[in-house]
Every structure is written in structure tokens, then in C-alpha cells.
Amino acid sequence: MPSVRVCSRTGCLLPAVATLTYAYSDSTAVVGPLATASEPHSYDLCEEHAVRLTAPKGWEVVRHEGDFTSQEPSSDELTALAEAVREAGRSDAPAPPPPPETSSGRRGHLRVLPDPANR
């Protein structure tokens, strides 16, 4: 199953294999393995851009040691995902009971008010 996430660099359509995050307080750019989920303040990079990344003067780049490889889901992960989807789609699961209604017409923090037009 190919990665659906692509490199964040403009014009690059290669699959993402690394994630870039910034630690502004430390003036550090961190390039690590591809995060499991896309985050708003991080950037997905292909292998070429992850290896060639440079930081502004005065900043440090901390880079993951080893190869950046596309991590495809294992068959165990795919099976677990399929089981979760099947379980969520089951219609024979009992629906949760409705909250008990009190005699005052209140349900939790809500209150039922009579319609003034129907008096």
C-alpha cells in the first residue's frame, strides 16, 4: 500500500519518508522518521529533501541516523484496521439506552419548556 502523503516541498510529488519539525526556542530543525499522522506545524519530506535540508545561519539541524525508508503498513496493521472498520459497521451492536427522563421534564443539563403558542 503506497504512502498517500507526499513531500511538502513545492513541486515535489515524491512520497514522504521523513518529518521536519522546528524547535524555535532552541533554533533547531529536527528531521526524523515519518510521523504516524500529519501535524499542522510539521512538514513531510521525501528522502532527497530530508537528506539535503539546510537550516538558516545560527540554527542547528538534528537528523535521524540511518536510512529514511518508506514505511508501509504491515499485514498485522492492515488486518487490525480491517477488523476495526468491520466492527464499526456492524448494525447488530446494541444502541446505548436513552438517558432517563425525570418527571420535571429535565434531561441532564437541558430542560423541556412548553411552547407558549400551544397554551
Strands 18-23 and 42-45: antiparallel
4: nearest Cα among 70, 91, 74, 82: 70
- Write out pLDDT tens, residues 88-113: 556 665 666 666 655 555 555 666 66
pLDDT-wise least confident of 70-74, 79-83, 85-89: 70-74
pLDDT value for 41: 87
Reported as a pLDDT band with limits 50, 70 and 90, residue 48 is very high
Task: Give the position of cell 503506497.
Answer: 2
Long-range contacts of 77-83 (CB under 8 A, 24+ apart): 78/1
Please provide the average confidence, as pLDDT, over all residues in the chain. Answer: 76
Q: What is the pLDDT of residues 1-43, one digit of tens each?
A: 444 789 999 999 999 999 999 988 889 999 998 888 888 889 9
Per-residue pLDDT tens over the stretch 52-78: 999 889 999 998 877 776 655 555 656
Single-letter residue type at 73: P
43-58 average pLDDT score: 92
Listed by start position, the domains of the chain span: 1-89
